[in-house]
Structure 1
Amino acid sequence: MNTLIHPRTEQALRLPGPAGYPLVGALPTILREGVFEYVERCWREYGDFFQIPTAGRSRIIFTAHPDAIERILHTRVDNYYKGKGYDPLRPLLGNGLITSTGDFWVRQRKLTQPAFHMDNLRRMVPVMARCVEDMLGEWEARRRSGAVLDLHAESMHLAQRIVGFTLFGMDLSDREAASSRAVTESLEIAGQRMNRGALTLPLSVPTPANLRFRRALRTLDEIVYDIIGHARKAGPEAQPTLLRLLMEARDDGPGDGMSDQQLRDEIVTHYVAGHETTALILTWTFWFLGQHPDVYAKVREEIAGLGLTGAPAIEDLDRLTYTRMVFDEVMRLRPPVWAQTRTTREDDVLMARRIPADSFVMFSAYFCHHHPAFWDEPSEFRPERFTPERVRARHRYAHIPFSAGPRACIGKRYAIYELSTALALILTRFRIDVLPGQDVGIRPTATVHPDRPIYAHLRGPGR
């Protein structure tokens, strides 16, 4: 439960934290260690609340406790907004759902929500399945030749194809390499810019990183504006997609619909979020299944029980209860986005700690998911943590891979059905044998990547 006290009470309200350098605070240490490593070290030393020293009068407060996260994302969501902490992402995502705030965000959310209703998802699953089957046809030739797969590269390829068809009604494979590089590079540089904080140079300064970032943005913009142009030429009889729904959306009052700039921002947001994070979850699922043959066997048995001879229906996917537990455990250990930030509008109290107005609050799904008070042996891979009984008994904000509250990920069900479709069809056709001896760690930037390729052989399903 949240513990509230009078803000004037000063006992036990001072936050612990590491010492910093004059004028620049913790930035030199963060740049040397990496922000994830720095936060992890401080979390283990100072606990669920600590203050990161910064330059000037600003303050960064970190928390990984579900009680505090619930207040930030739900109870007092009005007081915790996406402020300057998201500025490094705004050149990439513009004013899309992830970065927008206030009334504009409310409007965009309402306009976008219908695309993810169950009726639309039901139409999307066969499209997802066709994309998977196309990939598996390519995999068969590679299996026969004994080729080694890079599982993350293959997952990115698949997720990008799926997002192109289901959200935009287009095959993006002809520009996949360019767009994939642009997304990966822009996200990585945006993450670096977030880490540097006050030391970040404006994008107008021609540093090597800024020049790469600007090139990546130009590539994405060329692709996205081309998609918008094709969609406008297709006319209203074209298949319903997210883009089509956004193009046809209108305000309650008189006026035109979204401008191309607004469409661009939403498309890039869903293009990035719709394949980058899902590909990472699928990649890590392959990795953990490869390390846990007993879990792998249970997943294969459950999928075999569907008796699939073609594309699964949503009702088939809903029967994959153990497989969903596996996805939940994968996302516990490797949440796609390891941390988020908010800025406080006014003074507040989080678990008996006074949080002044204009504070920069950072909270982490990764460390919340590894919190020993809520997870027994938190580093161990155990899908059984997600039986219905255990989920009901646990703090509802102890597991937030899709965030939570009013700003929870709009595409959560889309992602789960995409993952379920992909894994069901892949494991019906092949056995994925992750090569032994690979020491794969994490590379956390804006998202949580493997720090190296994950290689595997393909086998027939009965081998």
Structure 2
Amino acid sequence: MAAASAASSLSHLSSQSVMNINLQRTDFGSLHSSAASNLLNFKPKSSRFRCQSTSTDELKTKRNLLDNASNLLTNLLSGGRLGAMPVAEGAVSDLFDRPLFFSLYDWFLEHGAVYKLAFGPKAFVVVSDAVVARHILRENAFSYDKGVLADILEPIMGKGLIPADLDTWKLRRRVIAPGFHALYLEAMVKIFTNCSRRSISKFDELLERENLQGGKTIELDLEAEFSNLALDIIGLGVFNYEFGSVMKESPVIKAVYGTLFEAEHRSTFYIPYWKVPFMRWIVPRQRKFQNDLKVINDCLDGLIKNAKDTRQETDVEKLQQRDYSNLKDASLLRFLVDMRGADVDDRQLRDDLMTMLIAGHETTAAVLTWAVFLLAQNPSKMRKAQKEIDSVLGEGEPTYIRLIVVEALRLYPQPPLLIRRSLKSDKLPGGYNGNEDGYEIPVGTDIFISVYNLHRSPYFWDCPNEFEPERFLVEKKSEDIEGWDGFDPSRSPGALYPNEIISDFSFLPFGGGPRKCVGDQFALMESTVALAMLLQKFDVELKGSPESVELVTGATIHTKNGLWCKLRKRSHVH
């Protein structure tokens, strides 16, 4: 009954709150600090799941002959093109010692908000500044494409929204974005709730078995459980397909995970050997990848055929006004197929669906994982969230849970890097404490916008490494950061979640500008519902120490060996 009450409350969140979503997705923001003095007292944390500051001497000591040769080659081939910019010479060994974004953070503290990274035979520009990020993502968005990222993802996602070239992206964005309308999201809350209830029921059954043997807790890898839950939700919400992965495994599910692992491998591997034609048949993991793609494509092709066979074509306005509460198939695929004037070949639909499958699944699982990781280390905040959930059942909205979700995204952004390539020459702003005249960049320059650096910047955030969900409730005016407008909730009254508009691009959980993720509200609401239902029923603690949770990264930030936790049923559940 308690779970049912939670579901009722969360459905109420649907009817009350979803209708308030600003279709421009401008939300309410966060507390920032422009005090440069914070940097003097700022000490990044350890290099496992936390960030360790590495001195210049230590970096030099680490470098071996391969590193020195790599840097020399970089300077010869591309160093002169970005000569006016501070230079961080990266050690190739850093690619293997720890996630790259940790090193990018160390170099950010050493070299500033915009610097050139000399890594092998290629130079990258690393951006860790809100004003510069805004310039690239919004003010000059069509002067940049996805560059390296598109090269990596094209074999998997084809011409889906993430890797698509600008022309394809403009066409598909106009079709897909209307699908995430308010009534659709309201219908999705019911799917979020029903799928989350399955996970809760599974945990309940495991606890009952343990109780029969005298135990009061169960140990679970919650990262794996969240991954299963997110896959079930994305299957029903986007394709109207029942993966059922919370309870069982199927060939399609195994193929999905295989594809996800390959996408992660390609995002981090130094040499793109998979581009060599014969490698896809010689290398075992590439043969497996081709087989996994075929399994998924066959599944998607069947779903697309079924949707087209039952097509009910109508105008977009009428599609958005359907009675989604009673619609048997409320999926995004149904919307795309039924939209009049949006005829598209099956290949493009497959690419769209594959993109949403991978991007939507990975992000939500990671957000929930790190939210629980943070809450388990802060029991008072967990109790505060549970108290709120208990008090609003059936009659209100869990505000604090939403703040926990976005604070988890601030500390562990998914993804930690946004990748762009300049299509024409441009002049970047200098950024905080950078060159007042800015930095000229030539066409073809590859850029890393380090969301991780930006979210933990001591220039924009007070106590940047601390878990403080409450920070998003406090207005912050810009002080000594030229060109940054600070944080102002009035930029989006009534919105549910903070984002880049309210914080003026110092908070980029889903990117920003025209190419911002179209499924941001879907992912945020899904995470909120799942986390609320878990905390409403269970107390959670880490099985081991926080230091034992080793962090790795690919497409998203996740754990190396899972997030093993102890779950105990709450003694007072209303």
Distance 1:197 1:18, change over 3 A: same
Tell me if structure 2 keeps the 8 A contact 1:443–1:450. yes
> 1:243 is matched by which residue type in structure 2?
L
* Structure-1-length-normalised TM-score: 0.86
How far apart are 1:447 and its partner, in Å? Answer: 1.0
Task: Report SS of the residue matched to 1:229.
Answer: helix
Residue 462 in 1 paired to residue 571 in 2? Answer: yes
Residue 189 in 1 paired to residue 262 in 2? Answer: yes
How far apart are 1:246 and its partner, in Å? Answer: 1.6
Tell me if structure 2 keeps the 8 A contact 1:13–1:353. no
Distance 1:129 1:29, change over 3 A: closer
CA distance in 2, matches of 1:213, 1:29: 27
CA distance in 2, matches of 1:420, 1:77: 30
431-440 or 158-167, which deviates more: 431-440
Tell me if structure 2 keeps the 8 A contact 1:344–1:356. yes
2:413 aligned residue (321, 325, 335)? 335
1:17 aligned residue (74, 79, 87)? 87
Larger RCO, structures 1/2 (Cα 8 Å, 6+ apart):
2
CA distance in 1, matches of 2:276, 2:263: 11
Residue 297 in 1 paired to residue 383 in 2? Answer: yes
CA distance in 1, matches of 2:103, 2:520: 30
Tell me if structure 2 keeps the 8 A contact 1:89–1:190. yes
* Structure-2-length-normalised TM-score: 0.70
1:162 aligned residue (218, 224, 233)? 233
280-289 or 233-242, which deviates more: 233-242
CA distance in 2, matches of 1:27, 1:251: 50
Tell me if structure 1 keeps the 8 A contact 2:410–2:455. yes
Tell me if structure 2 keeps the 8 A contact 1:30–1:38. no
Alignment of 1:68-107 (within 5 A): 68-107=132-171
2:220 aligned residue (149, 161, 169)? 149
Tell me if structure 1 keeps the 8 A contact 2:412–2:452. yes
How far apart are 1:53 and its partner, in Å? Answer: 2.7
Task: Report SS of the residue matched to 1:374.
Answer: coil
Distance 1:199 1:169, change over 3 A: closer
Tell me if structure 2 keeps the 8 A contact 1:13–1:354. no
How far apart are 1:443 and its partner, in Å? Answer: 0.8
Q: CA RMSD in A?
A: 2.7
Alignment of 1:186-335 (within 5 A): 186-196=259-269, 200-202=273-275, 204=277, 205=279, 206-236=282-312, 239-251=329-341, 257-308=343-394, 316=396, 319-335=397-413
How far apart are 1:111 and its partner, in Å? Answer: 0.9
How far apart are 1:124 and its partner, in Å? Answer: 1.5
Distance 1:187 1:52, change over 3 A: farther
Aligned to 1:35: 100
Distance 1:181 1:284, change over 3 A: farther
> 2:225 is matched by which residue type in structure 1?
E
CA distance in 2, matches of 1:168, 1:440: 34
Aligned to 1:3: none
Aligned to 2:315: none
CA distance in 1, matches of 2:232, 2:518: 20
How far apart are 1:349 and its partner, in Å? Answer: 1.5
> 1:392 is matched by which residue type in structure 2?
D
How far apart are 1:65 and its partner, in Å? Answer: 1.0
> 1:217 is matched by which residue type in structure 2?
L
Instruction: Kindly tell me the number of residue pairs found equivalent between the two proteins.
Output: 435
Residue 392 in 1 paired to residue 498 in 2? Answer: no
Aligned to 2:531: 423
How far apart are 1:362 and its partner, in Å? Answer: 1.2
CA distance in 2, matches of 1:279, 1:34: 19
Aligned to 1:5: none
Tell me if structure 1 keeps the 8 A contact 2:89–2:119. no
Tell me if structure 2 keeps the 8 A contact 1:250–1:258. no
How far apart are 1:267 and its partner, in Å? Answer: 0.6
100-109 or 363-372, which deviates more: 100-109
Tell me if structure 2 keeps the 8 A contact 1:337–1:447. yes
Please list every run of 5 or more consecutive structure 1 residues that lacks an aligned counterpart in the other structure: 1-9, 21-25, 309-314
Alignment of 1:61-140 (within 5 A): 61-140=125-204
Tell me if structure 1 keeps the 8 A contact 2:104–2:453. no
Distance 1:306 1:345, change over 3 A: same
Distance 1:232 1:34, change over 3 A: same
Task: Report SS of the residue matched to 1:59.
Answer: strand
> 1:385 is matched by which residue type in structure 2?
R
341-350 or 177-186, which deviates more: 177-186
Task: Report SS of the residue matched to 1:361.
Answer: strand
Task: Report SS of the residue matched to 1:148.
Answer: strand
